[in-house]
Structure 1
Amino acid sequence: MTWRAPEIIRDDEPHLADERTALEGWLDYHRQTLLTKCAGLTAEQLRTPSVEPSPLTLLGLVRHMAEVEAWWFRENFAGQRVEYPYFTPEHPDADHDVSHADAEADLATYHREVALARAATVGRHLDETFTEVTPKRRQFNLRWVYLHMIEEYARHNGHADLIRERIDGTTGD
């Protein structure tokens, strides 16, 4: 039997909520949206590029967002030492190199990184600041991270929509 990405039941985005609940709810909505674009597809389909010459794939987006979750929530905000599953200094775009990727393992990695990102913010305040771990050393707060992640997912979910439509004609919200 051929492995397929699991079906996803997406929660509605929050309509009436305090700021923290709204930010977490919208971020979860966009996380789930990316997974709905992958649902039901085989590993081969998840590795199918969008359109020449772009190497962009649904699986590459999932791998990329796993690392973005780790980068912003764990390494930058929580100050944790992160072992990235794909990135290396010699191959910084390895998240998008899916030629030999294991789709089932990569989706599990994504789910693990989301859970670790959530855990990194428990009990932390939106106004809590941190210094970015790059030479720029910019200051951010947790609120900015949530807003940035919602924006990043929204942008990539637009890419995912087009890739999914190319694969099997599926469109939707």
Structure 2
Amino acid sequence: MKLSKKLEKALNKQVAMEYEAAYKYNGMRIYLDDFGVPGATHWMTLQTKEEIQHAEDFIQFIKSLDGQVELAEIQAETTKYDGLASVWEAGLAHEKEITKSIEEILALAIKEKNYAAENFLRTYVDEQVEEEENFRDVLQLFELAGKDKAAMFQVDSYLGQRGQE
């Protein structure tokens, strides 16, 4: 099975989006570290690494169908935010962009009857449900904690447990 040029281009664009997500989340990680929240820093460090793995998954998939991988330029990202909630709001907005992109590529794969791409992309549709939910869940915790410093300390502690479940 071979990729059409159109599908190959779309998948390469997704590689760039995954690396951009990692770069964005790394900027957030730096902000969180400077802000002094080790649990949130840990959470975002794992998120950064996860996005790099997603990019690698897309690269390997393109290569597995004898496609040509092309790496795009990545834009600079900020390390400045207006508090903890703004970090996760920006992350959720970015995850929604990634979801939209994956859904568009999936629609193209279905149209082209590229079943391998369809199967691969469906796993990422499921992954995006989880990604958006994770960001929303953290935002909900921030909302519940409000301005209560003890509650925020607990939220940060909870975020530091990611990956230890």
- Please tell me the TM-score bracket, short chain as reference: 0.3 to 0.5
Q: Which has the higher contact order (CA 8 A, sep 6+)?
A: 2
Question: What TM-score, normalized by structure 1, do the two folds share?
Answer: 0.37
Considering only CA atoms, is the larger Rg found in Structure 1 or Structure 2? Answer: 2
Structure with greater helix percent? 2
Question: What TM-score, normalized by structure 2, do the two folds share?
Answer: 0.38
